[in-house]
Amino acid sequence: MSSDIGFPEEGADGESGFFPAEMPGDAGRSAEMEIFSAGQGAAPDSPRLMMEIEPEVERKIIKRAHLTIVVEDLERDFEQIVTLVEEAGGFVQSSSTWENDRQRSSHLTVRVPVDKFSQLLAQLEDMGRVEGRELEGQDVTTEYVDTEARLRNLERQEERFLEILDRADTVEDILNIERELERVRGEIESLTARLKSLDDLTSLSTIDIELKQLKVSAERIAPPGWQGIFAQAYQAAVSTVNSILNFLGKVVIFLGRILPILPLVLLAWLGYRWYSKGRKEPEK
């Protein structure tokens, strides 16, 4: 289907121009050809080329650390960490506390500006005995530059589609162009969200902190000297008395169990005596 719409095409010098609506020997370009031409756009900017042109490009590094610290006072040090993070311009992203028979623990995930990362790590390590320390760094500069280049290219495509849409004069052309605009704008939103995420990850570093407070043993230790000896003697005497009472208790329990059958045993014994005596008298 022929259209009277001119369409953008990249020239050798990179300038966009419009073909006339009709050319000799041709009834004109179709709207589909215009959409295809706009969709091709300019070749995406090469991240490598851009970094060569801009050698001073800011590096994008995602920094993360994991610390395990043994402390003496869990509540006090927990509150101190929150204060240090807020003073550094950061915030606590999540936290939790739990305990068992051996220790009490807290876990915090904090976000702080990347320029305060090393300073806060040093402050945290001074709070107690460092049991574990891990540092991670991920360079996403290339991904960031590439995403920016793709975003600029899509924005140029969007502008071209809008220009074509202004000149469209049929329902079919309008629907085709709007469909392509919807696709391009969806990709623009996706890339914009990714850039925002990378900005957040590289501007704010993440530190995972695990605090541990070991519980003191509750076992009692006998004092030294004569006091300790008397205490041990007292404990031995109490243990002996307890053993005797325990034995007597078992005897009473045993007697209680056999008491109901004692009359039967007594009758059997008397019967045996009488029977034995009766057999001895005839023999005389």
Indicate the angle between helix axes 31-40 and 171-203, nearest 10 degrees.
10
pLDDT digits (tens, 9 = 90+) for 189-206: 999 999 999 999 999 999
212 and 239 assigned to the same domain: no
* 22 part of a folded domain: no
41 has pLDDT over 80: no
Asked if pLDDT for residue 116 goes beyond 90, the answer is yes
Rounded CA separation 56/145 (Å) = 13
User: Which residues touch 164 (CB under 8 Å, ≥6 apart)?
Assistant: 5, 7, 8, 31, 34, 35, 38, 177
Average pLDDT value over all residues in the chain = 79
The residue whose two tokens read 């605009």 is: 181
Domain assignment of residue 265, given as a range: 226-283
pLDDT average, residue stretch 125-132: 92
Assigned domain for 76 exists: yes
101 and 191, same domain (yes or no): yes
Scored b (16 or more CB within 10 A) or e, 198-232 reads beebbebbbbbbebbbeeeeeeeeeeeeeeeeeee
Does 186 share its domain with 255?
Answer: no
Task: Say yes or no: 65 and 200 in one domain.
Answer: yes
Confidence of residue 40 (pLDDT cuts 50, 70, 90): low
Structural domain includes residue 162: yes
pLDDT at res. 253? 84
pLDDT given for residue 282 in this prediction: 58
Task: Name, of 182-186, 217-221, 260-264, the range with top average pLDDT.
Answer: 182-186
Residue 21 lies inside a defined structural domain of this protein:
no
pLDDT at 139: 94
Q: Summarize pLDDT for 149-164 with one digit per residue, the tens.
A: 999 999 999 999 999 9
Which of residues 121 and 53 earns the better pLDDT score?
121
Record the pTM: 0.54
Q: Give every CB contact of residue 154 below 8 A, 6+ residues apart in sequence.
A: 41, 184, 187, 188, 191
202 and 241 in a single domain? The answer is: no
Model pLDDT, residue 146: 94
Residue 102 lies inside a defined structural domain of this protein: yes
End-of-domain residue from the set 191, 219, 247: 219
Is the predicted pLDDT of residue 239 greater than 80, yes or no? yes
Same domain (yes/no): 188, 263: no
Co-location of 190 and 138 in the same domain: yes
- The answer to whether residue 247 sits within a structural domain is yes
Instruction: Determine contact, residues 92/220, Cβ cutoff 8 Å.
Output: no
Q: Same structural domain for residues 213 and 75?
A: yes
Number of domains in the chain: 2
Distances (CA, A) of 1 to 28, 39, 85, 212, 260: 9, 19, 66, 75, 117
Residues 195, 251 within the same domain: no
Amino acid residing at 55: P
Residue 176 falls inside a structural domain: yes
Residues 194, 79 share a domain = yes
Query: Residue 211 phi/psi, 5° resolution?
Result: -100, 140
Of 163, 186, 219, the residue at which a domain comes to its end is 219
* 196 & 255 share domain: no
The CA R_g of the chain, rounded to the nearest whole Å, is 45
Q: Say whether both 71 and 205 belong to one domain.
A: yes
Evaluate whether residue 9 is within a structural domain. no
Separation of alpha carbons 169 and 149, rounded Å:
33
User: Residue 192 has which token pair?
Assistant: 């914009």
